[in-house]
Amino acid sequence: MTDLVLPNLGDGVAQGDVLKVLVKPGDPLKVDQPVLELETDKATIEVPSTLAGIVKSVRVKAGDKVKPGQAVMTVDQGVAGAPPEAELRTAEAPKAEAAAPAQVETPAPAPTAPPASAAEPERPRAAVVDIAAARQQGPVALQVSTAQPTAPAAPSVRRLAREIGVDIAQVTGTGPGGRISQDDVKEFAKRVMTSFGSAGQAAAVTGVGAPLQVRALPDLSKFGETERKPMTGIRRKTAAHLSSAWNTIPHVTQFDKADITQLEQMRKKYRSEVEKAGGNLTVTAVAAKVLASALKVFPQFNASVDMAGEAIVYKKYINVGIAVDTDNGLLVPVVRDADKKNLSQLSVEIQQLAEKARARKLSLDDMSGGSMSISNLGGIGGTAFTPIINWPEVAILGISRGIFEPVWNGESFEPRQMLPLSLSYDHRIIDGADAIRFLRWVAEALESPFALALRG
Amino acid sequence: MATRVAVLGAGPGGYAAAFYAADLGMEVTLIGEEKNPGGVCLYKGCIPSKALLHVAKVIDEAHHATEWGVTFGEPKVDVDKLRAYKNRVVEKLTSGTGQVAKLRKVHYIQGRASIVDPTTLRVQKSEGGEETVSVDYVILATGSHPTRIPSLSLDSPRVLDSTGALDLPEIPKTMLVIGGGYIGLELGSVYAALGTKVSVVEMTPGLLPGADRDLVRILNQRAEKVFEKIYLSTKVTGMKDAETGVTVSFEGEGAPAEASFDYVLVAIGRRPNASIDGLERTRVKVDAKGFIETDGQRRTAEPTMFAIGDVAGEPMLAHKASHEARVAVDAIAGHKAVFEPAAIPAVVFTDPEIAWAGLTEADAEKQGMTVEVARFPWGASGRAIAIDRVDGMTKLLIDPKTERILGVGIVGSGAGELISEGVLAIEMGATASDVKLTIHPHPTLTETVMEAAEQFFGQATHVYKPKRK
């Protein structure tokens, strides 16, 4: 019998919520067969099996939090077919008992089959049952193992980390065998405090000196009935991500409007062609095309800030993030190499990504590596808003609803369809003048597709 | 005003909590059933059993001395005097804790407490009368008691639990120990050394379930000589009073259907003492196994109440309790302490002793972890040969990638004293090189730890091992 251990879920993903268990005890199992559906970070992941055999017991259930390295089920690898249940149990029971101590300090729940009684095919007399029961509840076996490997740090170092609010599991040790020293912990804390090198690290610091003073919620039930629901994984991550972005990036939002009267005519004209290709020629798709071009002209918008290294990182690729509203919350899949795709291809891809997002099938890869993001709320309404930058990006384009407005053409008022644009940018590396130049460029490209072809 | 803390239960968890809280300037009340702080461990557990095991060891060595050319006569055992010696040991230690409690100004009440509400306790004093204690925090350290088998309960003075066995009612001719765990084997060895023919019955296929088999194998060699019979994979199906003892019926291969013994010692485990009077008046939760549920700080569901030691979960070991005691008191003092040891050592005080800490091979296999096991047999230790105790082995479980020491297992004379180095190595994240490069005194058994580390590199001085590829 072997434990199926939850593999690494990807960079910076420390845990996940079990959404669904896809196998049950007795099921035959193949390598790569999905066994769990996990909600992590912003993605729903199907965890494939690394083992083949027969599922003996499942140790997690929907709603459980699980971490990489945790045993989630037990698999009998020794059998090709499914042998009779009783035979299997007798064979493995002693081993299960001997190994039982591993359960003590691990978060993994105890195996479902109580080992002592499993060893007994029948229960002839009450007395026997009682000994068995006594064993289950208070085995003579000394259960001392702390099976969960702790961070390689001395107890005093672990205590220091906890006192200053550092999650020791996130500290990289510089000593032999990865041993974490006091200096490693202090260095880690210093780095996080000065730079928020990454969202993961920022989240690792809580308590003293943390950037966010989380205030305890007052008792709201005294004002009337309330209901308390735990945050989903996506909500938790969104909250942490946006708080961190809002707290670390000096945001400025610039507004403008683009005359899309002509664009709308074109969009209607070519819509069916794109539909045939399997896409939807939306304003978002057009904006993505425009943004991809604008990022080439304004490289400071396709950058990230490294405060710790006191450097600006310019990206040589152009990937555009598209905010998607789903039942489960806000997700931002990324269209890769948007500058190398035509409008029709972009439309198809955005459509696919949005569907994937709503079906909760986005991978973490699908959601990382963006240059800049677009948040289009125009389908719902609004005249303008101040979007929060999707860190580590440095700008985000917000789009509200395009409406017909009377526009003075020099002689008379003319009805023109005007699209409100909101550009939030990181004022640390983007100056106001550059920001409005960028936004004007985007607006003009939307107004006249020729301008795009000319300058983009 | 000082924080007021009451500690319910005065064992090694309870009195450690009380003393540390007093050291931090808290106003402490400690409630225990005995005259002085000590609990099961000092009064009827670890300490008296070790006094008796020491005597057993001397007897064994005296026997053994014949082989070295020194012959003593057959030992004459004066049970009353032996019991008095054991009681003196207990008295000396517990009066010491009583003194220390006084010096620290811990208010010790001998009695039984019931919970009025989460911050109020009412104590029925043993000397008579009641005392009400009002506090800010309560630490529950009520310990555990030997497991009983209701349907096998024979109301006979000849059926003992560990407490009864330590009282040494007499030295019986024959005794059956039910349960091949550490309590049964330790007390069984005592009686065996005193001259009783002791048999052991164990339900699982091996002695000491939970310990790695390679360690137990070495203990078995001696256990088979010390004990009259060892019945493995055998169940006890009934007990009845016989004229001069107890008739026990068995079910298992190799075991007789029935046999009579002068005494039976039932040592099948311990149960937490979570049925505390008035606990239902708090939000404290008890889990299915009877343990009080706590968080990493040992705080219960009632925020001002903590639980430590046997009543708060496995492993039921005194040193785990005293460590938890400090965590809970630190938490009360507002520190961010959490109970998160990398290793809790376990010691079985049989002869030879077995001790282990951290990862066991069984754990590693269960978790599918790749570990390298470096073993050093005591046959290659000068000191072990000199004391004629080569029945030992020291092993290290090492992560082959980082070379960190993840687990230590030792079987041999005095293994319990040797394990602490291993615990420190695990806690400090030491690598095999660290242990190898630390000079160990010669000739001592501690060298076996160093040589096991050398063995990992194929370089143990006293063992030849073909080169690692």
**Using H for helix, E for strand and C for coil, what is the string for chain B?**
CCCEEEEECCCCCHHHHHHHHHHCCCEEEEEECCCCCCHHHHHHCHHHHHHHHHHHHHHHHHHHHHHHCCCCCCCCCCHHHHHHHHHHHHHHHHHHHHHHHHHCCCEEEEEEEEEEECCEEEEEECCCCEEEEECCEEEECCCEEECCCHHHCCCCCCEECHHHHHCCCCCCCEEEEECCCHHHHHHHHHHHHHCCEEEEECCCCCCCCCCCHHHHHHHHHHHHHHCCEEECCCEEEEEEEECCEEEEEEECCCCCCEEEECEEEECCCEEECCCCCCHHHCCCCECCCCCECCCCCCECCCCCEEECHHHHCCCCCHHHHHHHHHHHHHHHCCCCCCCCCCCCCEEECCCCEEEEEECCHHHHHHCCCCCEEEEEEHHHCHHHHHCCCCCCEEEEEECCCCCEEEEEEEEECCHHHHHHHHHHHHHCCCEHHHHHCCCCCCCCCCHHHHHHHHHHCCCCCCCCCCCCC
Taking only the tens place, the pLDDT of each residue in B57-97 is 999 999 999 999 999 999 999 999 999 999 999 999 999 99
- For chain A, the average pLDDT equals 78
What residue of A is the nearest CA neighbor of B310?
Answer: A138
* B275: its two tokens: 């049925």
Taking only the tens place, the pLDDT of each residue in B30-60 is 999 999 999 999 999 999 999 999 999 999 9
The CA distance from A241 to the nearest CA of chain B, in Å, is 26
For residue A108, the model assigns a pLDDT of: 38
Instruction: Using CB atoms, pick whichever of A95, A143, A151 lies closest to residue B315.
Output: A143
Are the C-beta atoms of residues B375 and B455 closer than 8 Å to each other? Answer: yes
Per the listing, tokens 């063995």 go with B455
Q: Which residues pair with A259 in a beta bridge?
A: A418
In this structure, the answer to whether residues A112 and A167 fall within a common structural domain is no
Instruction: Using CB atoms, pick whichever of B148, B269, B429 lies closest to residue A179.
Output: B429
- Asked if A67 has any chain B CB less than 8 Å from its own CB, the reply is no
CA angle B400–B402–B407, rounded 5-degree value: 70
Residue A167 is assigned to a structural domain of this protein: yes
Q: What is the secondary structure of A352-374 as a DSSP string?
A: HHHHHHHTT---TGGGS--SEEE
Chain-chain contact of A137 with B359 (C-beta, under 8 angstroms): no
What residue of A is the nearest CA neighbor of B337?
Answer: A159
Residue A200 is assigned to a structural domain of this protein: yes
Q: Which residues pair with A322 in a beta bridge?
A: A374
Q: Say how many CA atoms lie within 13 Å of A290 toward its Cβ.
A: 27
Lowest average pLDDT, out of A66-75, B66-75, B132-141, goes to A66-75
Chain-chain contact of B343 with A146 (C-beta, under 8 angstroms): yes
Write the DSSP symbol of residue A454: H
- For chain B, the average pLDDT equals 94
In this structure, the answer to whether residues A260 and A317 fall within a common structural domain is yes
- State the greatest distance between any 2 C-alpha atoms of chain B, in Å, as a whole number: 75
Q: Is A376 helix (H, G, I), strand (E, B) or coil?
A: strand
Lowest average pLDDT, out of A355-369, B135-149, B173-187, goes to A355-369
Task: Determine the average pLDDT of the residues in A98-113.
Answer: 36
Residue A306 is assigned to a structural domain of this protein: yes
Chain-chain contact of B235 with A131 (C-beta, under 8 angstroms): yes
Classify burial at A304, counting beta carbons within 10 Å of its beta carbon; exposed 0-12, middle 13-18, buried 19 or more.
Answer: middle
Enumerate the H helices of A84-232 as residue ranges: 85-99, 115-118, 126-137, 155-163, 182-195, 199-204
Quickly state the pLDDT bin for A144 (edges 50, 70, 90): low
In this structure, the answer to whether residues A360 and A439 fall within a common structural domain is yes
Percent of chain A with pLDDT over 90: 38
Please state, in angstroms and rounded to a whole number, the distance separating the CA atoms of residues B469 and B467. 6
Are the C-beta atoms of residues B144 and B273 closer than 8 Å to each other? Answer: yes
User: In angstroms, what CA-CA distances link B48 with A80, B38, B55, B163, B192?
Assistant: 54, 12, 11, 10, 17
Quickly state the pLDDT bin for A41 (edges 50, 70, 90): low
Residue A328 CB coordination number (10 Å): 16
Please state, in angstroms and rounded to a whole number, the distance separating the CA atoms of residues B81 and B173. 19
- With the CA atoms of B168, B171, B175 and B177 taken in that order, what torsion angle do they form, in degrees rounded to the nearest 10? 30
Please state, in angstroms and rounded to a whole number, the distance separating the CA atoms of residues A146 and A136. 19
Candidates 3.30.565.10, 3.40.50.300, 3.40.50.10490, 3.50.50.60; CATH matching B4-146+271-332: 3.50.50.60
Residue A97 is assigned to a structural domain of this protein: yes
Task: Determine the average pLDDT of the residues in A379-394.
Answer: 93
Task: Determine the average pLDDT of the residues in B257-277.
Answer: 95
Chain-chain contact of A139 with B181 (C-beta, under 8 angstroms): yes
pLDDT at A139 over 60: no
Instruction: Using CB atoms, pick whichever of B235, B268, B368 lies closest to residue A5.
Output: B368
For residue A176, the model assigns a pLDDT of: 86
Q: Which residues of A touch B402 (CB under 8 A)?
A: 152, 177-178
For residue A126, the model assigns a pLDDT of: 34
Residue A289 is assigned to a structural domain of this protein: yes
ipTM: 0.75
Task: Determine the average pLDDT of the residues in A291-297.
Answer: 95
Interface test with A, best of B340, B356, B372, B408 (most A CBs within 10 A): B340
Q: Is A289 helix (H, G, I), strand (E, B) or coil?
A: helix
In this structure, the answer to whether residues A56 and A169 fall within a common structural domain is no
What residue of A is the nearest CA neighbor of B234?
Answer: A128
Q: Domain B150-268, what architecture?
A: 3-Layer(bba) Sandwich (3.50)
Instruction: Supply the pTM of this predicted model.
Output: 0.60
User: In angstroms, what CA-CA distances link B319 with B154, B322, B421?
Assistant: 33, 5, 16
Q: Which residues pair with A45 in a beta bridge?
A: A38
* A/B interface, count of CB pairs below 8 Å: 190
Q: Which helix (H) or strand (E) holds A274?
A: helix A261-277
Are the C-beta atoms of residues B174 and B262 closer than 8 Å to each other? Answer: yes
pLDDT at B444 over 70: yes
CATH number, domain of A115, equals 2.40.50.100
The CA distance from B426 to the nearest CA of chain A, in Å, is 8
Q: Which residues of A touch B296 (CB under 8 A)?
A: none
Q: Say how many CA atoms lie within 13 Å of B363 toward its Cβ.
A: 28
* B271: its two tokens: 């149960």
In this structure, the answer to whether residues A112 and A180 fall within a common structural domain is no
The CA distance from B358 to the nearest CA of chain A, in Å, is 5
- Asked if A5 has any chain B CB less than 8 Å from its own CB, the reply is yes
Q: Which residues of A touch B362 (CB under 8 A)?
A: 95, 98-99, 101-102
Closest C-alpha among B108, B132, B141, B142 to residue B35:
B108
Taking only the tens place, the pLDDT of each residue in B153-209 is 678 889 999 999 999 889 999 999 999 999 999 999 999 999 999 999 999 999 999
CATH number, domain of A374, equals 3.30.559.10
Q: What does DSSP say about strands A395-399 and A372-376: parallel, antiparallel, or unpaired?
A: parallel
Q: Say how many CA atoms lie within 13 Å of A110 toward its Cβ.
A: 15
Task: Determine the average pLDDT of the residues in A380-397.
Answer: 94
Chain-chain contact of A145 with B363 (C-beta, under 8 angstroms): yes
In this structure, the answer to whether residues A59 and A104 fall within a common structural domain is yes
Q: Which of A65, A191, A427, A440 is catalytic?
A: A427
- Asked if A190 has any chain B CB less than 8 Å from its own CB, the reply is no
Quickly state the pLDDT bin for A12 (edges 50, 70, 90): low
Q: What does DSSP say about strands A372-376 and A320-322: parallel, antiparallel, or unpaired?
A: parallel
**CATH number given to B346-456:** 3.30.390.30
Closest C-alpha among A274, A258, A276 to residue A266:
A274
Residue B199 CB coordination number (10 Å): 22
Instruction: Using CB atoms, pick whichever of B147, B181, B210 lies closest to residue A98.
Output: B210
Closest C-alpha among A52, A116, A99, A105 to residue A78:
A52
* Helices and strands per DSSP (H, E), number in chain A: 12, 19
Through-space distance between the first and last CA atoms of chain B, rounded to whole angstroms: 67
Task: Determine the average pLDDT of the residues in B322-338.
Answer: 95
* B343: its two tokens: 């290793």
Residue A244 is assigned to a structural domain of this protein: no
Residue A102 is assigned to a structural domain of this protein: yes
- Asked if A189 has any chain B CB less than 8 Å from its own CB, the reply is no
Which residues span the domain enclosing A395? Answer: 252-455
In this structure, the answer to whether residues A169 and A119 fall within a common structural domain is no
What lies within 8 Å, CB to CB, of A103 at 6+ separation is: A110, A111, A143, A147
In this structure, the answer to whether residues A131 and A164 fall within a common structural domain is no
For residue A103, the model assigns a pLDDT of: 35
Q: Roughly what angle, to the nearest 10 degrees, separates helices B213-226 and B182-194?
A: 30
Residue A372 is assigned to a structural domain of this protein: yes
pLDDT at A142 over 80: no
Domain boundaries, given as residue ranges, for chain B? 4-146+271-332, 150-268, 346-456
Lowest average pLDDT, out of A71-80, A150-159, A417-426, B319-328, goes to A71-80
Q: Which helix (H) or strand (E) holds A273?
A: helix A261-277
CATH number, domain of A187, equals 4.10.320.10
For residue A121, the model assigns a pLDDT of: 36
Task: Determine the average pLDDT of the residues in B258-282.
Answer: 95
Taking only the tens place, the pLDDT of each residue in A194-228 is 654 444 444 444 433 344 446 778 888 888 888 88
Q: How many domains does chain A have?
A: 3
Q: What does DSSP say about strands B235-242 and B144-146: parallel, antiparallel, or unpaired?
A: unpaired
Residue B72 phi/psi, 5-degree rounding, is -100, 160
The CA distance from A175 to the nearest CA of chain B, in Å, is 10
Q: Say how many CA atoms lie within 13 Å of A349 toward its Cβ.
A: 22
Task: Determine the average pLDDT of the residues in B418-422.
Answer: 97
> Do B4-146+271-332 and B150-268 share a fold?
yes
- Active-site residue flag, A427: yes
Chain-chain contact of A131 with B344 (C-beta, under 8 angstroms): no
Instruction: Using CB atoms, pick whichever of A130, A141, A180 lies closest to residue B151.
Output: A130
For residue A92, the model assigns a pLDDT of: 36
Q: Last residue of some domain: A189, A204, A219?
A: A204
User: In angstroms, what CA-CA distances link B257 with A116, B247, B253?
Assistant: 22, 10, 10
